[in-house]
Structure 1
Amino acid sequence: MSVPVFRFAPSPNGPLHLGHALSALLNADMATEAGGRMLVRIEDVDVTRARPEHERAILSDLDWLGIAYERPVRRQSDHAEDYAAALDHLAALGLIYRSFLSRTEIAAAIAAEEAQSGRAWPRDPDGAPRYPDIDRHRSAEEAEALAANGKPFAVRLDMTKAIHLAGPLSWQEFGDSLHGPGETIIADPAAWGDVVLAGKFTPAAYHLAVVVDDALQDVTDVVRGRDLYFATSVHRLLQTLLGLPAPRYHHHRLILGPDGGKLSKSKGAEGLAALRAAGSTVADVRRMVGLP
């Protein structure tokens, strides 16, 4: 039987807060309980937001929390060729296309469709409008001409074709102990529409990078926040299309802020470094996030 492998995968675009601490500590606790390995992956594939100083601060916070993890850490920015190979595989299956619409053009297309149909445009589980199908129906010649003229584009998955090829999908959702058979969850990737797989400044968007990284690192158990529960449908689809193994999943509760929403770097959630500077101990942090 293989050794269980867990991972904590922060993005170096700001300091760790209590929500990150819960996820990191849960991964470490479960890895210890299972006699497994604990990895840290730096998700810095978005070069426009990643900062070396944030990475240094993240690793310092993890060391302070007492989390033992294997070195060296994996940095997504070192592995563009892995994501390119995955995109090439999907391209060979005829499942990707270039999308050129700007945010303004997307909003205009959706507004026109809503005005004509009288119905609200469908939105994905995160509340964002699904991408219109204009680019999916462009001819290859027109797409080539737009790209040749310097029109920025992203690479998207043709969700309808992908689902048809993959067939029915599900994943195993576990409770806090990861013992037992788990609960079978039916995946619904169609709810997301044609997701982005790569962008102008990113060799791979989150959905693609995370499934490739988990497979290459032999991750067996994905322990992450409940905010990524519905994204697992897309991940199971990509794993199937790429011939990658399916980890077991546990989506833990979120630490909420005063406004009732999840803690966020962009909303200025207090970082672990600030708590340390104010005299908080690791035991205090564990108590704050509801861990023994």
Structure 2
Amino acid sequence: MKRRDSVKVTGRFAPSPSGRIHLGNILCCLLAWLSVRQQAGHMVLRIEDLDTARCPQRYARQMMEDLHWLGLDWDEGPEVGGSNGPYFQSQRTDRYQAALEQLEAQGLVYPCFCTRAELHAASAPHREDGQVIYPGTCRNLSAAQIAERSLRRAPALRLRVPEEEIGFTDGHLGAVRENLARACGDFLLRRSDGMFAYQLAVVVDDAAMGITEVVRGADLLDSTPRQLYLYRLLDLTPPSFCHVPLLLAPDGRRLSKRDADAGLEVLQGRMSAQAVLGKLAYLAGFHPSAEPASAWELLEEFDWDKVPRSDIRLPEHFFEI
């Protein structure tokens, strides 16, 4: 089933340039691009480089070169321009600060002095994936306690979350519901080093750039209820969300930029962009064979109903053939 909408669709790539993109990144970008192009929509490229130490400019430039090589273009963003720039998050911190102040004015933000090591070492509850559920350690500190602790350590800033379920219908995975207090607890808006958190930055940017459709990896599924809560508090209109399966290594590990054998640098040395895309589209269920195909050739074949809902494990040596 191909999706059409009377409203102009605006999608986005929002990569974090901490290294060379790998096959999992490419699959996500391809699905986002196909979904938008099939709906005659508008594609935005935003570089999520808040952590400038891990995301130097050379990686961002390389990532754009890689997208060009793959034939995945964008209508707005770096190199192209547009009315919603700048398109690097490191240049948009004034917008995050304004949103933070809006939340502070609602009395929902408080300083937190807990370190990650302290939370992991303490008896704080943990989720099945090992993430700590913040137990509210600093939630009700007095003004005197805050002043005293501030002398020893700069605080992070957390957002108070309600004891309520937040739900949405994912465009690919269906109904999702999550109680924020039980799933994550009060979450970070700004780290102790002053860096704004992903949850706040992505909400501010997607709203400011008019994004109506977010296609991203299923590893970010549990971020969505937190972001919907922020959309509500900031009186912003959320996009639709579509979370796609992760591409796993043959042994079941999640791919990362450290997996050199799944990185584009290695693949470019032995196959064409069309070969990479054709193989990925075949694994994603909508290309009938692993034969090469350009992004535009895949456009007519793309169908969300054919894309798996569970993670995809790479066959051994599949990209060496």
TM-score, length-scaled by structure 1? 0.85
Taking the aligned partners of 1:85 and 1:6, their CA distance within structure 2 comes to 24
Say whether residues 1:95 and 2:87 are aligned partners: no
Is this contact kept in 2: 1:46–1:202, CA < 8 A?
no
Question: What letter corresponds to residue 216 of structure 2 in structure 1?
Answer: R
Whole-angstrom distance in 2 between the partners of 1:185 and 1:236? 12
Aligned-residue offset at 1:184:
4.0
Higher relative contact order (CA 8 A, sep 6+): 1
Identity fraction in percent: 35
1:99–1:136 contact (8 Å) kept in structure 2: yes
Residue 268 (structure 1) shift: 4.7
Question: 1: CA distance between counterparts of 2:127 and 2:108?
Answer: 20
Aligned in 2, Cα 1:269/1:135: closer, same or farther, shift over 3 Å? farther
Q: Distance in 2 between matches of 1:140 and 1:287?
A: 60
1:260, 1:212 → 2: CA distance?
Answer: 34
Change beyond 3 A, Cα 1:107–1:255: closer
Are 1:170 and 2:167 matched, yes or no? yes
For the Cα contact (< 8 Å) 2:154–2:193, is it kept in 1? no
C-alpha separation in 2, matches of 1:213 and 1:238: 12
Q: 2:180 aligns with which of 172, 184, 189?
A: 189
Alpha-carbon distance between aligned partners in 1 of 2:155 and 2:260, rounded to the nearest angstrom: 31
Whole-angstrom distance in 1 between the partners of 2:257 and 2:200? 23
1:206 aligns with 2:203: no
Q: Matched residues in 1 for 2:120 and 2:254: separation?
A: 27
Shift of 1:212: 0.9
C-alpha displacement of 1:209: 0.8
> How big is each residue's C-alpha offset from its partner over 1:119-158, in whole Å with a ceiling of 9 and x where there is no partner?
xx422464212223221121123213322x2513211112
Q: 2:43 aligns with which of 25, 29, 38?
A: 38
CA deviation string 1:172-220 (max 9, x = no partner): 3113xxxxxx944334322111211111345421111111111011100
Q: Is the 8 A contact 2:132 2:184 kept in 1?
A: no
Aligned equivalent of 1:69: 74
Given the alignment of the two structures, is residue 138 of structure 1 paired with residue 129 of structure 2, yes or no? no
> Following the alignment from structure 1 to structure 2, what is the Cα–Cα distance between the partners of residues 50 and 283?
28
**Mapping of 1:188-267 within 5 angstroms?**
188-190=179-181, 191-266=183-258
Unaligned residue ranges in structure 2 (runs of 5+)? 1-5, 79-86, 288-321
Secondary structure of the corresponding residue to residue 50 of structure 1? coil
Q: 1:91 to 1:268 in 2, by over 3 A?
A: farther
Instruction: Sort the Cα spacing of 1:202 and 1:152 in 2 relative to 1 into closer, same or farther, 3 A.
Output: closer
Match of 1:104 among 77, 98, 117: 117
Q: State the TM-score, normalized to the length of structure 2.
A: 0.78
State how far apart, in whole Å, the 1-side matches of 2:265 and 2:76 are.
22
Decide whether aligned partners of structure 1 residues 259 and 98 sit closer, same or farther in structure 2, where only a CA change above 3 A counts: farther
What SS class does the counterpart of residue 58 from structure 2 fall into?
A: helix
Cα 1:65–1:240 change in 2 (3 A) is: same
- Structure-to-structure mapping, 1:269-280, within 5 angstroms: 270-276=262-268, 278-280=269-271
Is structure 2 residue 125 aligned with structure 1 residue 122? yes
What is the CA RMSD across the aligned residues, in angstroms?
Answer: 2.0
